[in-house]
Every structure is written in C-alpha cells, then in structure tokens.
Structure 1
Amino acid sequence: MTDDRPFGALARDGLTHVELTWVEKKLEHWIRFGRIAEDRILTRRTRVVGFRPGAIFAFVRWASNDFGTIVSRIDVVRAVAANEPYTTLPFVRPGGDILLKIEGWPKVSQVLAVIDAVEAAGVDPCEAAPDHWRHVHQRITAGHQPRLYTTERHTAWLKRREIEG
C-alpha cells in the first residue's frame, strides 16, 4: 500500500510516526522491536510506521560512506500521547519519551545483545519495564555491564504496573 501524503501530514492521527529508510550498505533505519500500529509505504526505500501512545520501541540508525560507518545509534522510545511532554528525535514525529540513547557501534551492539537476552528470558522487549531501558542506558554509558532482565524482574514490573493502574 502506497501513501502519497508527506511524512509530516501523518502526525494528526495520535500516533508516533517513525520514518524508516533502507539503502543497502549506505543508510539503514529500522525498528528492532515494538508493536507497529500502522505501516505506510512512501517509496521503494522509505516507509513510515506508527506506534500508539505508551508503546515502547527500539529505533536503530546506521549510515556509512566510502570510508566506513559514520553513524551507528539506537534509541528505545516510549510513544507519547498528544498532551504529554516529549523529546524530539530525528525521523520520529512528534518525538517521544527517550528511555535509552546510545551511539557508536560497540555500544549499540551491547544494547542489541541486551535485547537478545530479554527475548531469551521469554519476554517481549516492548513489554519490559521502561526503567530497565533507562538502567541499560546508564550502565552502558558508564562503561559497565547492565543487569540481566529476568522473569522475576518482569513479574515485579507487571505487578507494579497493575497497582499503578
């Protein structure tokens, strides 16, 4: 399905939109995890995905030139509702609550390994506690290994979320 509307025109539906681009070995923007509520193809190389308020997703950006990688970044973001404050982020409209922001391939690969570990624990990463992604950000930024996200931590998060309503 192709949509002729410009990227900015998509933001009126209450979703957080992320522009994804794929130019093999040059520019690659993709979603590592998250529940996509809407997916619109703009061109052969560009599409826009939408996330409902409260949804958590990981957005990976990578770019290279003739000399190698020039951008390597991952952001874990919580989509916001219309009345919530947010932080702007390139290719994300309007923006979101940034839970994790990591740059540089060695650190990005650490985050990808953490995501794999969450999945290995039997938890969908978009269901993991937002505080876990903040913890991962802080630990990796400080050069430390983040704690594992266990099923016990996840159960505690689900109970806390239930109590907070």
Structure 2
Amino acid sequence: MTGNAAPRVRGGPSPASPAPFTTLVELTWIERKIEHWIRFGRESCDQILDRRRRVVGFAPNSLFAFVRWASNDYGTIISRVDIVRAIGPGEPFQTLPFVRPGGEILLKIDGWPKVERVLQLIDAIEAMGLDPVDVAPDYWRHVHNRLTASHEPRAYTAEQHQAWLLRRRAEP
C-alpha cells in the first residue's frame, strides 16, 4: 500500500478518517488469547488495521454491545460486556478501554456467568424479531442494575418495546 492510498475497509474504500463525532472501537482477535468483538450495533465505518485488529465506528446516539475476553496460561482473566450509547458533539461521556472518545455506558458487566446471562438476554430479544439496538436504553440500565445486585432481570416484552417506540416518537 502506498502512503496516500485509502485504508482497506469492508465494502470498499473509505475516507482517510471517519465522520466527525464518530465513536471508534478497536477490536482485536487473537484466538484463545484476546477476543474483543461487537455483539450488536450498526457500524458507520470499518477500518482493517491488520489481520488481527480493526477499528469500527458508530454514529451518535447509536447503541452497541462491546464484548471483551482475555486469557493466559491459567485460564480466563477478563470476561466483560458493555452496552454503550455513542455520544454526539458536546455531550458528556464515560471513558472505556478501546473506545474513543467514550460513550454513555448503559450496562457494564464482568465475570463470565453474568456476561453469559447478558448474551442470553440479547439472544432472547433477537428471538422476538427485534434488533437489540432498537431496545429501550432503560432496559439495558435495568439489566445492569439487576445483575449487579445478583438478581434476575425481567425479560424485555413487546409491550415495553411499543411503549419505548411511542415515547421516542414523542421526544423533541
């Protein structure tokens, strides 16, 4: 690749840099060592850095689930899932490793049993025919609070989703 060539991007060439105010997430995949991946989210850009790393971007106000897992010779050392709302210009944000500049963290869970439970809840939402990015942000906060307190979260319902869609439509 020459110095002025555009970076390789899924779906064709892209601008040298993502759109302004894009939240960037660095993903790494080193089999059985480090695995960072996006469980759900609508990517606005995707840049391949090398065969093990890439950077994906998310537009302001979009939701995504970022899963991190790492191990060493003795077993798993980190297992974590974060559900994040990408921020817009001038919004306050929380920092998160591998996420630039950061975002509004709706759910932050670590430890494999709880991470697995979040992944099961995401699967259940998809089984309802819904995209998890369209789920009410308050539901992800509820799941965070319940699992942090070692309680079972309530399932997301079609009625809850309809109420969220009506509320979102009524917001200015």
Does TM, scored on the shorter chain, surpass 0.5?
yes
Partner of 1:114: 121
The answer as to 2:33 corresponding to 1:59 is: no
Displacement after TM superposition at 1:11 (Å): 6.9
Q: Indicate how the Cα distance of structure 1 residues 10 and 62 shifts in structure 2: closer, same or farther if over 3 A, else same.
A: farther
* Letter of the 2:50 counterpart: T
In the other structure, the counterpart of 1:102 is 109
Aligned to 1:44: 51
Once the two structures are TM-superposed, the CA of residue 110 in structure 1 deviates from its matched residue by 0.5
Q: Please state how far the C-alpha of 1:60 moved relative to its aligned partner.
A: 0.1
Q: Is the 8 A contact 1:86 1:95 kept in 2?
A: yes
**Unaligned ranges ≥5, structure 1:** 4-8
Q: In structure 2, how many angstroms separate the alpha carbons of the residues matched to 1:13 and 1:21?
A: 23
SS at match of 1:13: coil
For 1:11 and 1:122, the matched residues in 2 are separated by: 31
Larger radius of gyration: 2
Partner-residue secondary structure (3-state), 2:106: strand
Alignment of 1:123-138 (within 5 A): 123-138=130-145
Q: Find the aligned partners of 1:10 and 1:53 in 2 and give their Cα distance.
A: 16
For 1:85, the aligned partner's letter is: P
CA offsets per residue over residues 47-81 of structure 1, 9 Å max, x none?
A: 00000000000000000000000000000000000
Q: How many residues align?
A: 160
Q: CA RMSD in A?
A: 1.4
Moved beyond 3 Å, runs of 4+: 9-12
Contact 2:18 2:45 in 1 (8 A): no
2:13 aligned residue: none
Contact 1:17 1:51 in 2 (8 A): yes
Residue identity in the other structure for 1:30: W
1:144 aligns with 2:147: no
| More deviation, 100-109/117-126 | 117-126
Is this contact kept in 2: 1:80–1:97, CA < 8 A?
yes
Equivalent residues of 1:139, 1:146 under 8 A apart: yes
The percentage of aligned residue pairs carrying the same residue is: 64
Distance change (3 Å), C-alpha of 1:11 and 1:84: farther
Q: Give the Å deviation of 1:2.
A: 2.9
Q: Which residue of 2 aligns with 1:153?
A: 160
- The residue that corresponds to 1:2 in the other structure is 8
CA separation of 1:147 and 1:81: change in aligned 2, threshold 3 A: same
